[in-house]
Amino acid sequence: MVTKVIMPKLAANVEEATVGQWFKREGEAVAVGEPLFEAITDKAAVEVKAEAAGVLRRIVARENSVVPVGQVIALIGEAAEPLPDLGPQRPLPATGARAAEAAAVKASFGARRLARELGVDLAAITPSRPDGRLTEDDVRRAAASARGPAILERIPLSPLKRAVDSHLARIARQVVPAYVTVQVNFRHVQRALPTLSEQAGVRVLARDVVIREAALLLAEHRLLNACYSDDAILVYEPVNIGLAFDVERDNTVMVPVLRNADQKTLADIAREAATLAEHAQSRHLDPAEVSDATFTIADQSGLGIDNFVPILNERQSAILAVSSVRQAPIARDQGVIVAPAANLAVAFDHRVLNATAAARFLNDLKDALERFAAT
C-alpha cells in the first residue's frame, strides 16, 4: 500500500514549514523510524522519521520548498506499485515574494547564475533587449551601479537561518519589549556544583540550577508564563522551559524545550538540558523537543560577557538571560566584597506585565540563588 508522507504540524501555531534536507533519495529503501527528511520552521530544524517501510517512490516537495502543514510531500510504497494521482499541490515561495518575482523574470541561465553570485535581484533589473530577456551584461551593469562598499564575501542564508530570521522580525513587529536586570552572587551555587554533580551522577552546571529555580518560581509569577492574545492574556498551565542555544553551523539560534521543568529534579534537568544542547548543535531534534515552550532561558555564560538582553520568543511573555559568572565587587551591608557574580536580565512583553512584576520575579530568583545549598 502506498503511504503518503505529509508535512507534520510541528507546533500549535505553525502552518507551514520548509523542506530542508532529504535523507533518502527516490528509489532507496526506507525503514520505519528512520530519519526521512528535515523540516524547518521559524523555531528549529527537526528530523522527521518515516512512519512506514518501503521504497521512497516519489519526492513531491524538493529541498528548500515551503509547503503547508498537512500537504503530501512524498510517497512510500513497493517498487512496482502504481502511484496515486495527488492532484494539484499548493507550493509556497521558498524565499518570499521577491523570489517569486525573480523566478518569473525572463533571463538567460548565465544571467541567473551571475545574479546569484553577485547578489543582484533579477526582479529589480531593467532589461536592455527589446524582448525583455535579461543578459549577463544587464546583471553586471546592475551590480556596478549598486551603491555601497565592495563585497568581500556573500554568505547564503540556510533555510533554518532564513526561517528563524523571519520569526524574529515578526516578533519585533508584534511585541512591546522592555527589560529589567539584577546582579546575583553565585558563590553558594558554585560551591554546591561538585556535590550536586556527584549526587546526580551527571555534571550539573550553574545553568541547570537557574533553570530549576526559575521553573519553581513561575508558579507564583504566572504572568511570566503567559502570552498575549487579541482578547485576553493567556496563562499557561505547564512550565515548559525553552533553552536557547546558539547553532554556529547556521549562525542562528534553536530553542528545544524542557517540559514540566517545575516537576523535575535537578539531576533530571541537568541530564535533559545536556541532551537538548547536543541535539540542537547537531540539528537532530524531534518535533516534541521544539514545541510548546511557555518561558525561555538564554544562557550565554560561556561567552565571557557581562550583560545581554535577548529577544522574546513567539507566544511567550518573558525570557531570562544568564550572562557569565565572574569575580566582581558586590555591595554588602556597609561594605563591598568580591565574589563570583552574574547579571541576569528578564526581557518581557509590556502588554502582558509591567516592570514591577518582572522585577519581583527577578528578585525572588536572585534570593533563591544566593541562598542556594546542595540538598
Whether the per-residue pLDDT at 260 is higher than 90: the answer is: yes
> In terms of domains, do 365 and 327 share one?
yes
Judge whether 32 lies within some domain: yes
> In terms of domains, do 46 and 113 share one?
no
Using one digit for the tens of pLDDT, what is the confidence trace for 151-208? Answer: 677 777 777 788 778 777 888 888 899 999 999 999 999 999 999 999 999 999 999 9
> Would you state the pLDDT for residue 127?
84
The CATH number of residue 24's host domain is 2.40.50.100
Q: What is the DSSP code (8-state) at residue 341? A: E
Judge whether 325 lies within some domain: yes
> In terms of domains, do 355 and 273 share one?
yes
Structural domain total, the chain:
3
Judge whether 168 lies within some domain: no
The CATH number of residue 340's host domain is 3.30.559.10
Judge whether 253 lies within some domain: yes
In the chain, alpha helices (H): 97-104, 109-118, 136-145, 159-174, 187-200, 206-217, 266-282, 355-370
Nearest alpha-carbon partner for 193 in 210, 176, 215: 210
Average pLDDT value for residue range 328-354: 91
Domain that holds residue 324: 175-370
Using one digit for the tens of pLDDT, what is the confidence trace for 177-191? Answer: 999 999 999 999 999
pTM above 0.75, yes or no: no
Largest CA distance in the chain: 84
Write the burial class of residue 45 (CB in 10 Å: 0-12 exposed, 13-18 middle, 19+ buried): buried
> Would you state the pLDDT for residue 148?
61
> In terms of domains, do 113 and 193 share one?
no
Q: Between 348 and 282, whose confidence is greater?
A: 348
**C-alpha cell of 189?**
551555587
Judge whether 9 lies within some domain: yes
Average pLDDT value for residue range 250-258: 85
Which range is most confident: 15-19, 227-231, 258-262, 306-310? 258-262
Judge whether 247 lies within some domain: yes
Nearest alpha-carbon partner for 242 in 301, 170, 314: 314
- % of the chain with per-residue pLDDT over 90: 49
> In terms of domains, do 292 and 360 share one?
yes
In whole angstroms, what is the distance from residue 111 CA to residue 102 CA?
12
Using one digit for the tens of pLDDT, what is the confidence trace for 31-73? Answer: 999 999 988 876 677 889 999 999 999 999 988 788 888 999 9
> In terms of domains, do 305 and 184 share one?
yes
The CATH number of residue 125's host domain is 4.10.320.10
> In terms of domains, do 133 and 188 share one?
no
Average pLDDT, the chain: 86
